[in-house]
Amino acid sequence: MKKPFKLAVKAVILDGEDRCLLIRRSQHCRHFTGQWEWPGGKPDPGEDFTTALVREVREETSLEVDITGLAGATTFEMSALHVVLLCMEARVIAGEVHLSEEHDDFAWVGLEDVAQREILEPMKPVLKNLLERKDLP
């Protein structure tokens, strides 16, 4: 039986100093416990990815964000499905970080320092792409 493809969306929330918000997955998560990630999740049935991403960021961090562009995309496999990971750049328009129980810590980290954390493996190609783009004049 072929594995289905599912969409996951993440927000690379940048501040004015090229720092992004990372959140750490808590013990309440079934997968990737203790790893750092950008906020996000999966769209509900019939929900467009932008609405899903804004909702997921609000649920996980209490922040209201504006999606500003494409950060990158990649794919990875889980036991029962293929995941297409779409990462969008975003900026905070309101709120302060208050984490849901899915996460137990957060940090604003310079893009060049993100790889020094234990981040989700699927984020690495998107991070590499972001860093290459930020180096351009």
- Residue 131, CA atoms < 13 Å, CB-side half-sphere: 12
The angle subtended at Cα 72 by Cα 70 and Cα 78, nearest 5°, is 130
Region 45-64 average pLDDT:
96
pLDDT (0 to 100) of residue 137: 45
pTM: 0.91
Domain count, the chain: 1
Query: With b meaning 16 or more CB within 10 Å and e meaning fewer, what string describes 71-100?
Result: bbebeeeeeeeebebbbbbbebeeeebebb
Kindly give, in sequence order, each residue whose CB lies less than 8 Å from that of residue 121, ignoring residues fewer than 6 positions away: 76
DSSP code at position 109: E
- Across residues 25-30, what is the average pLDDT? 83
78-92: per-residue pLDDT in tens?
Answer: 888 899 999 999 999
Q: What is the arithmetic mean of pLDDT over 14-28?
A: 91
Residue 39 domain boundaries: 5-134
Distance in angstroms (rounded) separating the CA atoms of residues 9 and 12: 10
Residues 19 and 5: their CA atoms lie apart, in Å, by 31
What CATH code is carried by the domain that includes residue 21? 3.90.79.10
